[in-house]
C-alpha cells in the first residue's frame, strides 16, 4: 500500500508537548485539520479562551494559535470523535516517574500511554497511524502495538511510529518552526516505512528534507533519552567545575569560555547555574538508569545516576552557601527568591531548583518572599506542599509570601536569591532595592545574571555561583 495522505490529525494530550507541536503543524499545514484533545475541561477551555490566556506560557505560541484556531486547529474534550476521524494520532500524554511499585523513583509511569492506546483500539473504526510523542522507555511501541492488535476491530490495522520531541521550553516555537532535526522511527517493514513516509510528508511542508531523519523504532526511542542525558551531563559537568572554581578563586565563566572554543566541545550548555530542572532531564536520566539496571549494566546505571546526584548536590551546595554567608544562620531572616520557574520564558515549575532552595530555607526557619512573572500563585503553593509533605500548607504560608513584583519581593529583606534567569531581573533598579533592604544587604546569583561589580559599588555583598570571590 502507498503512504497515507494525512488530512486529519488527532493529538491526545494538550500539554507542553502536544499543544505547541500540533499548533505549529496546523499553522504550517492549512490543508490538514488538527484536533487536540484532552479530558481536562479547564485546560481545553483555556486553549479556546477568547482572550488567548493559554494554559501554558511559551513565547510565540499565542500568535500561532491565533492564526490557526478555528481555521484548521481545534481543541476539544471529545476524544472518541477525534480518534475516529483522524488518519494519524499523536499520543502526547504525561509519563511521570513512578512514585510506587516496581521501578519507583526511576521508571516512567506508562499508565496514561496505555489508557490512550486502549482508547484508540476501542473506538477506532478504520486503520490509523499511531505516533508516540511522549517520552517513553525503549520498546514502549512494542507494548502499544500488542495492545492495539489484541483489541482492534476487524479490518483495522495500526502502524506505530516514534517521533520524539526535542523542544527547549522558552524556545519551543522557534524549535518547532526551524528544528535541528525531526526524528521518526518505524519498524523497517514495508508498512512501517510507508507510515514513516506519511508523517515525513507532513513535516515536509516546512522542514527541509535533509533534517528529517528516519531510523528504526528502538533507535528513535533511545535517541530521545540519550539526547537529554548528554545535555544534562554537560550541565552537571560544568556545575561540578563551578564548585572547584569557588574553592580555588577561578571564574567558571572564564573557564567555560576557554573550553568552549575547542571545536570538539563547543560553547553550548556550559553555563553554570544552581541546577537544571524541567520535565525531561531528570526524568529521562532516571529512566536511562532504570533501563541500564534492567539490562544488567550496573556500571552504566551508576554513571548516569551521578549526573542527577551532581545536580542535587549543586542545589544543596548553593543553599548552604546562603546560610554560611549569612553568618551561619538564616533563622528568622527574610530572603527574597526571584524566580520560581525552572528556567526563563516558561511558567513550568517541574523539578525547578527554586523549589529545593525554598524548601531548604524553610527548614532553616527563614521567612521567604517569592516572585515569578509567569508562575501562578496556586502552582507555587502546590509545589511547596509537595516539597514539604510533612508540613501543613497553613504552616508554610506563615513563612512564605508571594509578591507581585521583584521590587516588592526585595523590600526589608536581608538577602536576594536569583533562582531563574528572567531578563527583568537583570534590569532591576538595584539602587532602589538596596535602599529598601536591611543591611548588610546580600545578593546570591544562582544564574550568573547580574553585574556583580556594579552591585558591589552600590553597597551589596554579592555571591555569584562559580566565582571564587569573597564577599
CA atoms of 337 and 416, how far apart (whole Å)? 6
Alpha-carbon distance values, 273 to 89, 308, 360 (Å): 38, 14, 17
SS3 content of the chain, % helix, strand, coil (to 5): 45, 15, 40
Per the annotation, does 15 bind a ligand?
A: yes
Contact 339, 419 (CB under 8 A): yes
Range list of H helices, 249-401? 252-260, 281-294, 298-325, 353-363, 377-387, 393-399
- C-beta separation of 252 from 241 below 8 A: yes
Residue range 147-176: average pLDDT?
92
3-state class (DSSP) for residue 463: strand
Relative orientation angle of helices 217-248 and 140-151, to the nearest 10 degrees:
150
Q: Confirm or deny that 18 is annotated as ligand binding.
A: yes
Helix residue spans in 56-110 (DSSP H): 61-68, 79-85
pLDDT of residue 104: 83
* Closest C-alpha to 57, from 178, 169, 175, 165: 169
Above 70 in pLDDT, residue 470?
no
DSSP reduced 3-state for 109: coil
The pLDDT tens digits for 367-403 are: 999 999 999 999 999 999 999 999 999 999 999 999 9
Q: How far apart are CA 51 and CA 185, in angstroms?
A: 38
The answer to whether 134 is annotated as binding is yes
13 known member of a binding site: yes
Q: Would the annotation count 95 as a binding residue?
A: yes
Residues of the chain above pLDDT 70, percent: 99
326 vs 324: CA distance, rounded Å:
6
Write down all domains in the chain, each with its CATH number in brackets: 8-207 (3.40.50.720), 308-464 (3.40.50.720)
- 218-237: average pLDDT: 95
Return the pLDDT at 1. 64
Task: State in Å, rounded, how far the first CA of the chain is from the last one.
Answer: 71
Q: Please count the other Cβ atoms lying within 10 Å of the Cβ belonging to residue 431.
A: 10
Q: Measured between alpha carbons, how far is 195 from 181 in angstroms, rounded to an integer?
A: 18
CA 439 to centroid of chain Cα atoms:
37
- Assign residue 341 a region: left if phi > 0, alpha if psi is -120 to 50, beta otherwise? beta
Residue 100 assigned as binding residue: no
Residue 438 confidence (pLDDT) above 90: yes
Check whether the bond before 394 is cis (ω within 30° of 0): no
Q: How confident is the model at residue 447 (pLDDT cuts 50, 70, 90)?
A: very high
State the Cα–Cα distance between residues 425 and 288, nearest whole angstrom: 35
Bridge partners (DSSP) listed for residue 183: 213
Total length of the chain: 471
Report the alpha-carbon distance of residue 208 to residue 87 in Å, rounded.
23
C-alpha to C-alpha distance for 362 and 352, rounded to whole angstroms: 16
CB 279, CB 349: distance < 8 Å: no
Report helix angle 217-248 to 298-325, nearest 10: 40
pLDDT digits (tens, 9 = 90+) for 181-226: 999 999 999 999 999 999 999 999 999 999 999 999 999 999 999 9
H helix intervals, 249-297: 252-260, 281-294
Which of helix, strand or coil describes residue 356?
helix
Per-residue pLDDT of 84-137, as tens digits, reads 999 999 999 988 887 888 888 887 788 889 999 999 999 999 999 999 998 777
- 216: enclosing H helix or E strand: strand 212-216
d(CA 118, CA 113): 9
Active-site residues, by number, are: 280
Q: Confidence band (pLDDT; 50, 70, 90) for 141? A: confident
Q: What percent of the chain is predicted at pLDDT more than 90?
A: 89
The DSSP code for 107 is: S
Taking residues 307-330, what's their average pLDDT? 97
Per-residue pLDDT of 30-85, as tens digits, reads: 999 999 999 999 999 999 999 999 999 999 999 999 999 999 999 999 999 999 99
What confidence category does residue 299 fall into, taking pLDDT thresholds of 50, 70 and 90?
Answer: very high
Are 184 and 161 in contact by the 8 Å Cβ rule? The answer is yes
What are residue 402's DSSP bridge partners? 370
| Torsion region of 269: left, alpha or beta (phi above 0 gives left; psi -120 to 50 gives alpha) | left
Amino acid at each position: 500500500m502507498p503512504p497515507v495522505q494525512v488530512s486529519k490529525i488527532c493529538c491526545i494530550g494538550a500539554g507542553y508537548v502536544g499543544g505547541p507541536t500540533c499548533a505549529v503543524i496546523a499553522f504550517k499545514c492549512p490543508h490538514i485539520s488538527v484536533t487536540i484533545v484532552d479530558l481536562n475541561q479547564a485546560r481545553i477551555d483555556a486553549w479556546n479562551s477568547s482572550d488567548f490566556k493559554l494554559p501554558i506560557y511559551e513565547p510565540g505560541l499565542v500568535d500561532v494559535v491565533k492564526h490557526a484556531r478555528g481555521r484548521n486547529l481545534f481543541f476539544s474534550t471529545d476524544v472518541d470523535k477525534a480518534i475516529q476521524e483522524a488518519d494519524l494520532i499523536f499520543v502526547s500524554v504525561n509519563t511521570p516517574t513512578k512514585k510506587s511499585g516496581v521501578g519507583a523513583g526511576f521508571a516512567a509511569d506508562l499508565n496514561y500511554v496505555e489508557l490512550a492506546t486502549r482508547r484508540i483500539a476501542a473506538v477506532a473504526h478504520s486503520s490509523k497511524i499511531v505516533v508516540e510523542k511522549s517520552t517513553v522507555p525503549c520498546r514502549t511501541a512494542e507494548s502499544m502495538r500488542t495492545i492495539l492488535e489484541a483489541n482492534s476491530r476487524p479490518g483495522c490495522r495500526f502502524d506505530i511510529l516514534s517521533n520524539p520531541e526535542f523542544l527547549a521550553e522558552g524556545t519551543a516555537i522557534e524549535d518547532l518552526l526551524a528544528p535541528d532535526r525531526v526524528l521518526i522511527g518505524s519498524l523497517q517493514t514495508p508498512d512501517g516505512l510507508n507510515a514513516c513516509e506519511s508523517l515525513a510528508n507532513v513535516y515536509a511542508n516546512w522542514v527541509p528534507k535533509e533534517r528529517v531523519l528516519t531510523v528504526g523504532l528502538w533507535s528513535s526511542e533511545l535517541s530521545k533519552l540519550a539526547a537529554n542525558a548528554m545535555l544534562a551531563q554537560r550541565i552537571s559537568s560544568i556545575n561540578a567545575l563551578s564548585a572547584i572554581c569557588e574553592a580555588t578563586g577561578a571564574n567558571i565563566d572564564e573557564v567555560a569560555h576557554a573550553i568552549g572554543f575547542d571545536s570538539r566541545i563547543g560553547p553550548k550548555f556550559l553555563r553554570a547555574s544552581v541546577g537544571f530542572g524541567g520535565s525531561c532531564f531528570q526524568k529521562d536520566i532516571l529512566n536511562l538508569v532504570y533501563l541500564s539496571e534492567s539490562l544488567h549494566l550496573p556500571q552504566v546505571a551508576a554513571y548516569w545516576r551521578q549526573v542527577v546526584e551532581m545536580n542535587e548536590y549543586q542545589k544543596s551546595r548553593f543553599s548552604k552557601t546562603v546560610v554560611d554567608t549569612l553568618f551561619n544562620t538564616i533563622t528568622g531572616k527574610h530572603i527574597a527568591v526571584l524566580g520560581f520557574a525552572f528556567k526563563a520564558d516558561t511558567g513550568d515549575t517541574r523539578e525547578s531548583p527554586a523549589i529545593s532552595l525554598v524548601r531548604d530555607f524553610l527548614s532553616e526557619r527563614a521567612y521567604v518572599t517569592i516572585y515569578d512573572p509567569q508562575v501562578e500563585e496556586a502552582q507555587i503553593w502546590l509545589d511547596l506542599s509537595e516539597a514539604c509533605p510533612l508540613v501543613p500548607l497553613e504552616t508554610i504560608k506563615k513563612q512564605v509570601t508571594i509578591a507581585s513584583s521583584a521590587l516588592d519581593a526585595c523590600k526589608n529583606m536581608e538577602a536576594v536569591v536569583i533562582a531563574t534567569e528572567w531578563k527583568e531581573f537583570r534590569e532591576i533598579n538595584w539602587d532602589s532595592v538596596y535602599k529598601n533592604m536591611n543591611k548588610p544587604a546580600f545578593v546570591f546569583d544562582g544564574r550568573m545574571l547580574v553585574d556583580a561589580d556594579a552591585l558591589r559599588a552600590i553597597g551589596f555583598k554579592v555571591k555569584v555561583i562559580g566565582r571564587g570571590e569573597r564577599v
